[in-house]
Amino acid sequence: MFNLDLKDKVILITGGSDGLGYASAELLSSEGAKVIICGRRGDYLNEKAKTISENTNNNVLAIQADVSKAEDCKRLVEETISKFKKIDILVNNAGASAAALFDDVSDKNWEDDINLKLMSTIRMCRLVIPYMKSNDKGVIINATIGGGKAPNAGSLPTTVTRAAGINLTKSLANEYAKDNIRVNTICIGLIKSAQWDRKVGSGDVNELYKEMSKKVPMGKVGEEIDYANLVAFLSSDRSGYITGTAINLDGGLCPVV
Task: Report pLDDT for 216.
Answer: 98
CB 224 within 8 A of CB 19: yes
Q: What is the Cα–Cα distance from 228 to 237, expressed in whole angstroms? A: 16
Q: What is the Cα–Cα distance from 243 to 15, expressed in whole angstroms? A: 23
Nearest to 236 by CA among 145, 141, 96, 127: 141
Nearest to 22 by CA among 64, 58, 52, 53: 52
This prediction has a pTM of: 0.96
Q: What is the Cα–Cα distance from 123 to 205, expressed in whole angstroms? A: 35
Domain boundaries, the chain: 10-194+223-249
pLDDT in tens, the chain (257 residues): 458 999 999 999 999 999 999 999 999 999 999 999 999 999 999 999 999 999 999 999 999 999 999 999 999 999 999 999 999 999 999 998 899 999 999 999 999 999 999 999 999 999 999 999 999 999 999 999 999 999 999 999 999 999 999 999 999 999 999 999 999 999 999 999 888 888 888 889 999 999 999 999 999 999 999 999 999 999 999 999 999 999 999 999 999 99
Q: What is the Cα–Cα distance from 15 to 45, expressed in whole angstroms? A: 10
Task: Give the DSSP letter string of 153-198.
Answer: TT-EEHHHHHHHHHHHHHHHHHHHGGGTEEEEEEEE-SB--HHHHH
Beta pairing, strands 99-100 & 138-145:
unpaired
CB 118 within 8 A of CB 158: no
Q: Does the domain at residues 10-194+223-249 carry the CATH identifier 3.40.50.720?
A: yes
